[in-house]
């Protein structure tokens, strides 16, 4: 019996309600905007409204997928994030309820810094290999937040990506093998008692480069493609210039150093367009890059691409896939670009107010005023419960479902 081809059948992107342009940030900090536009490769960053979080962004990303394909065959929802809203309950359960998915479904949250979406993709593929008729909804989304005035502040951002993983996919079929690497490195972490991460910037860049180098070596050892075979590479992008830095490092390690003037843009640029606009989205970052690549290249049918995933701490994976013929017919290019274009620009003062918003921790009843205009929002907190509502005004929370 022939094993089924497995991969990404549908993909959708969502981001936050607001954006802070890096020109505005540069004016406030009194620095040359080129430090951000050229040095980091960033033009703006998505900033969530007070009534937005990873749940609302992920549900917004997944909604059109469910509208197109239905949810009856979805047996598993995997939510990859490092911005979890609860230490116990999976954020995906809120999304499961908002989307009206079947109760005959497992829902799990995955965490490993910026890597976990790739783990979710691979776990989904394994489930489908076991039972090809089922579908898996992979959700990934994060809000990247750093202290005001810190070196990480210009690399903040927010976005979510939803992917439907199936047999006989319409967009991308996954290859085997992939290359793996893990090591205990303290380059970026966030203890439970902190709302912002602790970062060793220099070590993080070094750890990233070393991890992808080792993942690439494992990939090649297991019979993977040569680097020259890939039509494009999608890297995890804490900032888009990191993709270029990482690719040059990998070329050097593979013995294919990029000569001065080498056109790295042909392999990388299309996959950085969305990330340049939304900023870092942690676990979603590489897949925001994949959405950007698919939406901006029209020459990928039957060609292999690479996804290079890294999560501080650290775990890396080098995986590859082949783009399906006719993939353009299944993309959401206009909707993805529209989600980014609709963001409202804000002043630095407004951004600072949002940055300092804290979720009440007293267990009382707190209504959250509406700011965002998406299909889902965080409407209130009550008794330590998060209550979400759709644009139609339907509330969703465990307490309401139980009739309390």
363 sits in the region (left: phi over 0; alpha: psi -120 to 50; else beta) called left
Burial of 108 (0-12, 13-18, 19+ CB in 10 A): middle
pLDDT at 371 over 80: yes
How far is residue 97's CA from residue 57's CA, in Å, rounded to a whole number?
Answer: 14
Structure token digits, residue 277 = 């606009």
Q: What is the DSSP string of 216-227?
A: HHHHHHTTPPPG
* pLDDT band with cut points at 50, 70 and 90 for residue 394: low
**Residue 316 in contact with residue 309, Cβ under 8 Å?**
yes
Residue ranges in 131-186 assigned as alpha helix (H): none
Catalytic residue among 52, 82, 213, 317: 82
Enumerate the domain spans of the chain: 6-353
The listed CATH number (3.40.50.300, 3.80.30.20, 1.20.1600.10, 3.40.47.10) that belongs to domain 6-353 = 3.40.47.10
What per-residue confidence (pLDDT) applies to 157?
98
Mean pLDDT of the chain: 94
Say which of 52, 114, 213, 249 is annotated catalytic: 114
Active-site annotation holder among 22, 236, 249, 396: 236
Q: Are 141 and 283 in contact (CB under 8 A)?
A: yes
Contact 15, 343 (CB under 8 A): yes
Active site residue 236: yes
The residue-averaged pLDDT of 176-192 equals: 94
List helix spans (H) across 112-221. Answer: 116-130, 201-221
| Residue 24 parent element (H or E) | helix 22-29
pTM of the model: 0.95
Tell me whether residue 353 is one of the annotated catalytic residues. Answer: no
Residue 52 among the catalytic residues: no
Confidence of residue 397 (pLDDT cuts 50, 70, 90): low
């Amino acid at each position: 019996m022939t094993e089924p081809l497995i991969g990404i059948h549908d993909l959708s992107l969502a981001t936050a309600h607001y954006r802070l342009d890096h020109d505005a940030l540069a004016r406030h900090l009194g620095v040359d905007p080129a430090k951000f536009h050229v040095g980091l490769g960033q033009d703006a960053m998505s900033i969530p409204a007070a009534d937005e979080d990873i749940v609302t962004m992920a549900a917004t990303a997944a909604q059109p997928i469910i509208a197109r394909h239905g949810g009856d065959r979805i047996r598993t929802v995997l939510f990859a994030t490092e911005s979890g809203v609860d230490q116990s309950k999976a954020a995906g359960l809120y999304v499961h309820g908002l989307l009206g998915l079947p109760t005959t479904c497992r829902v799990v949250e995955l965490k490993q810094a910026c890597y976990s979406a790739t783990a979710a993709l691979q776990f989904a593929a394994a489930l489908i290999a076991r039972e090809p008729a089922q579908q898996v909804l992979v959700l990934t989304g994060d809000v990247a937040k750093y202290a005001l005035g810190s070196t990480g502040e210009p690399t903040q951002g927010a976005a979510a990506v939803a992917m439907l993983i199936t047999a006989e996919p319409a967009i991308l079929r996954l290859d085997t093998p992939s290359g793996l690497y893990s090591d205990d490195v303290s380059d970026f972490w966030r203890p439970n008692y902190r709302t912002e991460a602790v970062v060793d910037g220099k070590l993080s860049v070094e750890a990233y480069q070393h991890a992808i180098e080792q993942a690439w070596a494992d990939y090649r050892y297991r019979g993977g493609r040569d680097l020259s075979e890939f039509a494009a590479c999608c890297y995890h992008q804490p900032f888009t210039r990191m993709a270029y830095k990482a690719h040059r490092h990998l070329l050097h390690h593979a013995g294919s150093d990029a000569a001065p003037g080498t056109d790295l843009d042909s392999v990388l640029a299309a996959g950085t367009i969305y990330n340049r606009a939304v900023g870092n989205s942690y676990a979603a970052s590489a897949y925001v890059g994949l959405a950007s690549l698919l939406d901006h290249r029209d020459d990928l049918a039957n060609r292999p691409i690479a996804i290079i995933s890294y999560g501080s701490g650290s775990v890396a994976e080098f995986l590859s896939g082949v783009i399906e013929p006719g993939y353009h017919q299944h993309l959401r290019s206009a909707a993805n670009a529209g989600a980014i274009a609709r963001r409202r620009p804000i002043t630095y003062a407004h951004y600072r107010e949002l940055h300092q918003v804290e979720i009440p921790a007293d267990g009382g009843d707190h209504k959250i005023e509406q700011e965002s205009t998406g299909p889902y929002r965080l409407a209130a907190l009550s008794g330590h419960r998060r209550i979400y509502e759709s644009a139609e005004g339907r509330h969703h929370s465990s307490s309401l479902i139980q009739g309390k």
